[in-house]
Amino acid sequence: MKIGIVCYPTFGGSGVVATELGIALAKEGHKVHFISYSQPVRLDFFSENIFYHEVIVSSYPLFDYQPYEILLASKLVDVVKHEKLDLLHVHYAIPHASAAYLAKQILKSHGISIPFITTLHGTDITLVGKDASFEPVISFSINESDAVTAVSQSLKDDTYKFFDIKKEIHVIPNFISISDFEQLKNKEEYNGICQKKMYSPSGEKILMHISNFRKVKRLDDVIGIFENVRKQIPSKLLLIGDGPERNRIEQLCREKNIYHDVKFLGKITTPEMLLRVADLFLLPSETESFGLAALEAMAMNVPVISTNTGGLPEVNINGVSGFTSNVGDVEDMSQNALKILSDPLILQKFRRQAFEVAQQFDLPKILPLYEDLYKEVIEKNKVSIKV
Binding site for ligand GMT (CB under 6 A): 12-14, 17, 121-123, 126, 151, 174, 212, 216, 287-292
* Cα-to-chain-centroid distance, residue 185: 21
The least distance separating ligand GMT from the CB of residue 218, rounded to whole angstroms, comes to: 11
For residues 190 and 108, give the distance between their C-alpha atoms in angstroms, rounded to a whole number: 51
Phi and psi at 305, nearest 5°, equal -105, 115
**Closer Cβ to ligand GMT, 289 or 353, answer by number:** 289
CB of 185 to ligand GMT, least distance (A): 22
Beta strand pairing status for 169-171 and 205-210? Answer: unpaired
My answer on whether omega of the bond before 271 falls inside 30° of 0, hence cis, is no
Q: What angle do CA 356, 362, 366 make, to 5 degrees?
A: 135
Nearer to ligand GMT, 350 or 361 (CB): 361
Q: Are 305 and 336 in contact (CB under 8 A)?
A: yes
User: What DSSP state is assigned to residue 217?
Assistant: G
User: Rounded to an integer, what distance in angstroms lies between the CA atom of residue 341 and that of residue 304?
Assistant: 11
As measured in angstroms, the least distance from the Cβ of 290 to ligand GMT is 4
Nearest approach in angstroms of CB 15 to ligand GMT is: 6
Q: Considering the complex, state which of residue 187 and residue 246 has its C-beta at the smaller distance from ligand GMT.
A: 246
For ligand GMT, which is the closer residue by CB, 13 or 271?
13
Residue 5 phi, psi dihedral angles, 5° rounding:
-115, 125
| Least separation in angstroms between CB 190 and ligand GMT | 24
Smallest gap from residue 124 Cβ to ligand GMT (A): 7
Minimum CB–partner distance for residue 252 and ligand GMT (Å):
21
User: Minimum CB separation from ligand GMT for residue 229, in Å?
Assistant: 23
Tell how strand 235-240 and strand 262-266 pair up: parallel
Strand order of the β-sheet with 322-325 is 262-266, 235-240, 205-210, 280-283, 304-307, 322-325
Q: 97 or 229, CB closer to ligand GMT?
A: 97
The closest of 76, 40, 41 to 55, measured between CA atoms, is 76
Q: Which is nearer to ligand GMT, 121 or 236 (CB)?
A: 121
Minimum distance between the CB of residue 312 and ligand GMT, rounded to whole angstroms? 8
C-alpha separations of 26 from 47, 50, 80 in Å: 8, 6, 17
**Rounded CA gap, 254 and 57, in Å?**
41
How many C-beta atoms surround the C-beta of residue 189 within 10 A? 8
Q: Which is nearer to ligand GMT, 122 or 303 (CB)?
A: 122
Nearer to ligand GMT, 126 or 336 (CB): 126
Contact 253, 259 (CB under 8 A): yes
Q: Which is nearer to ligand GMT, 95 or 122 (CB)?
A: 122
Q: How many CB atoms lie within 10 A of CB 116?
A: 26
